Amino acid sequence: MNTNILDIANLHVAVGDKEIIKGIDLSIKKGEVHVLFGPNGSGKSTLLCAIMQLPGYTITEGSVHIHDTDTAELTTDAIANLGVGMSFQYPPKIKGVTLRRFLDSISQSRDLHSSIAALNMEPFLERELNVGFSGGELKRAEILKLYAQSPDLLLIDEPESGVDIENITVISNAINTILQKESPMASRERSALIITHTGNILSTVHADVGHVFMDGKIICTGNPLDIMEDIKKGGFSGCIQCIANHKEKQ
């Protein structure tokens, strides 16, 4: 039985006529959390947008399967209904729709009181979605959206960028709750792919697998904390050197 929530094989993605993702294989099992590290412009957000089949992102080769379903012919809506939710790096502002109405429309009557309180979002419920929200408020609203959707696969793009230290803890705790981190691995139903630059989130959210993403490809996979340490010491150029050294040894 395939226990993978996500299976990506030889994925190539173009934006316009520019190839951004250049052949990626990535599988995420039920209950696993993967993190993606990579320099600016390497294609991390593009990967998440392509998984969601957002307009403007064209899969030119390869495949994405969610729960064994090939998503090639599916709309973004249908992919969300398969159980995929995305928290954006730059969330769109939606005038005329309050946060409360938005949550009502996606939460399928789930009781969100405790999650709204946990993310300190009560004061924002009657405001237009993301309009005028500060950087940290935007990120908290995005995580609240994931609570409401309750997807099997969470795609989280830079949850801690622009967020102060206390709110990083608030966001990390919320992500742990959504991912059922208090339960043993075998009984967790949800998985995540998290993009992080700072790695700050990793001190609270335990991740199982880390990947270094450069120029549209995954160039290294391993223990997320080890990878983070190496990047802090040697930067991404250190990753390139490390891979060159490994190749030389082979």
Ligand X SMILES: Nc1ncnc2c1ncn2[C@@H]1O[C@H](COP(=O)(O)OP(=O)(O)OP(=O)(O)O)[C@@H](O)[C@H]1O
Residues forming contacts to Mg ion in the complex (CB under 5 A) are 44-45, 89
The Cα–Cα gap between 161 and 42 comes to 17
Using the contact rule CB under 6 A, the part of the chain among 44-52, 124-132, 140-148, 169-177 near ligand X is 44-52
Place of tokens 């992919």: 79
Main-chain phi, psi angles of 140, to 5 degrees:
-65, -40
Pick the binder of ligand X from 38, 83, 85, 224 (CB under 6 A).
38
CB of 195 to ligand X, least distance (A): 7
Using the contact rule CB under 6 A, the part of the chain among 43-51, 75-83, 95-103, 113-121 near ligand X is 43-51
Using the contact rule CB under 6 A, the part of the chain among 42-50, 104-112, 167-175, 184-192 near ligand X is 42-50
Residues 6+ apart with CB under 8 A from 85: 145, 146, 149, 150, 151, 153, 154, 155
Length, in residues, of the chain? 250
The Cα–Cα gap between 70 and 50 comes to 13
Q: Which CB atom, from 223 or from 235, has the smaller least distance to Mg ion?
A: 235
Pick the binder of ligand X from 40, 108, 187, 250 (CB under 6 A).
40
CB of 39 to Mg ion, least distance (A): 10
Q: Which CB atom, from 118 or from 227, has the smaller least distance to Mg ion?
A: 227
Q: Which CB atom, from 103 or from 171, has the smaller least distance to ligand X?
A: 171
Rounded to the nearest 10 degrees, the angle between the axes of helix 135-149 and helix 165-178 is 10
Alpha carbon 231 to its chain centroid, in Å, reads 20
Q: Interface with ligand X by CB under 6 A: which residues?
A: 15-16, 18, 20, 38, 40-46, 56, 89
